[in-house]
Structure 1
Amino acid sequence: MQEYSIGRLKDRFVVYWYEPGGNRRRFRLEADDRESAEAEARDLVLAYAAEKSELTVRSIWNAYSDTVVGRPVHDSMEFTGRSVLPWFGAFRPDQITVQDCKDYAADRRRARISDGTIWTQLNKLRTCLNWAAKTGLIERAPHIERPSKPAPKERYLTRNEVKRLLSAECAPHIKLAIRLMLATAARVTAVLELTWDRVDFEKGQINLRAGDERRKGRAIVPMTNGVRAALLEARKAALSNHVVEWGGGPVKSIKKGFKAAAAAAELSDVSPHVLRHTAAVHMAEAGISMDEIAQFLGHSDTRITASTYARYSPEHLRKAASALEFD
């Protein structure tokens, strides 16, 4: 993003910056306090950059990405942009048609990309353009046609399958990551980013959040006895501040190691995310309330949890069924 400064001119806030040729741009702000001036200045700079580049999808994509720097979505924007921008990047928003979206989906399918991934990619495009409309960069966002969102996968591990996975031969850091995902219901990224300063043996808690940020699907959860024992052993051999480490440093991905562990346990259709689903299902089957499960999963809305996991609870609809006892 263009570097800029905020100053005062005739008792008003102004934002100014220098372009590559040395020319200075300065604009007066409407804000009356510094905090509001910061927000207004950022929007103005982003709008100016988008206007200079004729408001192509690429310029809007980059402007939106600048607003989420430091958050996980920024990395996903960069990754998704590798597929979306070569197709839509040079378009103006008003040039995008439903047929363009259908053609994109067909092209992705020919490359053997799943409808779920295509839905996610087009949804990122939709988010960017809706942001541009909301902030006034464009008059309105075009309709982005997306394939039907696939139903969530039902695969989860039985207790016997969990035992087989935990007993499978694999590298110590893979086994520790598996234990953590099962015991905390965390996403694999949260487990790989976990640092020792967020493991509190005294309170028996694991803080999956980085800093004070309430990131998607991250919570502060109690330690199970099994995970406590595994963490105490790992702490003795730790060479870095990351709980899951390899060669004295953080681990970016466990895809290969996890796949090998699943194969050794003779499990099919299992990914790291299945472990999060497994943890939630077993909590529901044990009669744990949807509110507690939601807190474990880091869901901000219990309705999201209930829509996926209520059916696994032995008490789900039990009261309603009792009204149907006609014998």
Structure 2
Amino acid sequence: MPEYKLQRFRGGWAVAVYKGGKRLSRRQLECRDAAGAAAEFGRVVEDAQRPVDPTVRTIWEGYIAAKVGRRIAENMGWTGKAVLAFFGDRKPAEITEKLCQAYTAERRAAKRGSKQQQDRFAAKGRAVPIGVTNGTIRTELNQLRAALLWAEKANMIARAPAIEMPSAPQARERHLTRPEFDRLLDTAETPHLRLYLLLAISTAGRNAALLELTWDRVDFERGLVFLGPRHSLRPQKGRATVPMTNTLRAALANALAHRRTEHVIEWGGEPVKSVRTALGKAAKRAGLPNLTPHMLRHTAACWLAEAGRPMTEIAAFLGHADDLITQRVYARFSPSHLRQTADALEVGRARTVR
């Protein structure tokens, strides 16, 4: 049986669930004073220990509550619109391979865009785009699987069902050349997008890490950018600590002088939650269709490989736990990749010269 503990958390109180000495989850309590938190803690534990047969909706909402304050909780608020419309009232035991395939088929047939966007297509006599991509469907089902596995660990359900996924989309090979990036930078009309682009290409950071970056993690004295928690002993996946380039240092110094929030990427006195619209418009002006924030991280990694940097260094720059995935994706961009192996196959006079 899990063990429940009342703990201090973010200036208030939280209930934490442990099993075998390992914390499984933590949920913020509403009461801020000790007495009120203790009473609320008792009610939460009583409810948690009461035998239940939760629906997917209950599990999904519980998982979001356990991850409050993290980006996954915000993302699942959006993906939940599709997932809960289909799975929400079902029990985990009802989820089968066939049901997952039915969800995939329904999402592939779904109309894309908002009602207003669909109406605009119809008014122009154009067909409304149909079909959500496999990548989006896999994201939705992966989040469902994560919530169900969490429920199993929290003893809400006996066992999380297997989730059938559509095939993974082919990896995007496209990355920007240096002239293309320069063109993109020239078309960035707002300061926050220009800074975002310089930050993305100079740190190879993930989109979420860049948007969440705060000034306390920018160290001008040592010339470092901490994409993850500055003093964490367990770095977050994909969030490395990287040196500033000279160009980035100058851009950051200018942004710091004009800052209005604690976030590095800001606009109108507010942190920026997404750059997709601004980036899409700039990419269109630059003649670079289908540009995504992740493509900038991919571009930075490709440039490092093309410069002949060791895969271990590139892995560290990207925040990979080891260089296995780095080798698999980026080694082929290195000018020295398989060069000695190819030399062993040299024939004729060229072979004797060597």
TM-score range, shorter chain: 0.7 to 0.9
Deviation at 1:211, TM superposition (A): 4.7
> Does 2:166 match 1:147?
yes
Q: Is 1:168 equivalent to 2:199 in the alignment?
A: no
CA drift at 1:90: 1.5
What is the aligned length?
299
Q: Distance in 1 between matches of 2:198 and 2:19?
A: 53
User: Partner letter of residue 72 of structure 1?
Assistant: R
The letter for the 2-side match of 1:60 is I
Partner-residue secondary structure (3-state), 2:209: helix
Kindly provide the amino acid, as one letter, of the partner of residue 207 in structure 2: V
Q: In the alignment, which of 298, 302, 312 is matched to residue 319 of structure 2?
A: 298
Asked if 1:203 corresponds to 2:222, the answer is: yes
Shift of residue 174 of structure 1? 1.0
Out of 208, 213, 221, the residue aligned to residue 189 of structure 1 is 208
Q: Distance in 1 between matches of 2:195 and 2:19?
A: 53
Report the CA distance shift for 1:78/1:176 in structure 2 as closer, same or farther (over 3 A).
same
Once residues 188 and 26 of structure 2 are traced to their aligned partners in structure 1, the CA distance between those partners, rounded to angstroms, is: 55
| 1:246 Cα deviation from its structure 2 partner | 1.3
Question: Matched residue of 1:315: which SS?
Answer: coil
Cα deviation for residue 37 of structure 1 reads: 9.7
In the TM superposition, residue 119 of structure 1 has moved relative to its aligned partner by 0.9
Match of 1:284 among 287, 298, 305: 305
Distance in 2 of aligned mates of 1:308 and 1:73: 25
Provide the C-alpha distance between the structure 2 equivalents of 1:227 and 1:41, rounded to a whole number of angstroms: 38
CA distance in 2, matches of 1:148, 1:285: 30
Match of 1:309 among 307, 312, 330: 330
- Could you say which residue in structure 2 is the equivalent of 1:138? 157
Give the letter aligned to residue 155 of structure 1: R
- 2:115 matched to 1:115? no
2:205 aligned counterpart, secondary structure: coil
How far apart are 1:204 and its partner, in Å?
A: 1.0
Aligned-pair distance for 1:47?
A: 10
Q: Mean alpha-carbon deviation: is it higher for 50-59 or for 78-87?
A: 50-59
Report the more deviating stretch, 192-201 or 204-213: 204-213
User: Which residue in the other structure is 2:250 paired with?
Assistant: 229
Deviation at 1:136, TM superposition (A): 4.1
Other-structure match for 1:69:
68
CA shift at 1:159, angstroms? 1.1
Shift of 1:280: 0.4
Q: CA deviation at 1:73?
A: 2.1
Between the aligned partners of 2:341 and 2:92, the Cα distance in structure 1 is 49
State whether residues 101 and 146 of structure 1, in contact with CA within 8 Å, keep that contact through their aligned partners in structure 2: yes
**Letter paired with 2:132:** I
Pick closer, same or farther for the CA change 1:50–1:212 going to 2, 3 Å: farther
Q: Is the contact between residue 225 and residue 242 of structure 2 (CA under 8 Å) also seen in structure 1?
A: yes
One-letter amino acid of the structure 2 residue matched with residue 294 of structure 1: A
Other structure's SS at 1:206 match? strand
CA distance in 1, matches of 2:45, 2:227: 33
Asked if the contact 1:285–1:314 (Cα under 8 Å) also holds between the matched residues in 2, the reply is yes
SS at match of 2:163: coil
The equivalent residue for 1:215 is 236
Deviation at 1:161, TM superposition (A): 0.3
- For 2:127, the equivalent position in structure 1 comes to none
Deviations 1:203-256 (A, max 9, x none): 111111145452232111111111111112222222222222212221112222
Unaligned runs of 5+ in 1: 8-16, 18-28
* Whole-Å separation in 1 of the counterparts to 2:45 and 2:76: 17
Show the 5 A alignment for 1:85-124.
85-111=84-110, 112-124=131-143
TM-superposition CA deviations, 1:246-270 (whole Å, max 9, x none):
1222111222211121122221221
TM-score, length of structure 1 as denominator length: 0.82
Distance 1:126 1:240, change over 3 A: closer
Task: Note the alpha carbon deviations across 1:52-99, whole angstroms, 9 max, x for none.
Answer: 542222222233333333332222232222211121121111111212
Name the aligned partner's letter for residue 224 of structure 1.
T
Contact 2:217 2:230 in 1 (8 A): no
Partner of 1:221: helix, strand, or coil? strand
Tell me the TM-score normalised to structure 2 length. 0.76
Against the structure 1 CA distance between its residues 39 and 297, is the aligned structure 2 distance closer, same or farther, given a 3 Å change threshold? closer
Could you say what secondary structure the match of 1:151 adopts? coil
The residue type equivalent to 2:281 in the other structure is A
Partner amino acid, structure 2, of 1:54 = D
**Aligned residue type for 1:69:** V
Q: Distance in 2 between matches of 1:141 and 1:63?
A: 15
CA contact (8 A) 2:25 2:66 kept: no
SS in 1 for 2:320: coil
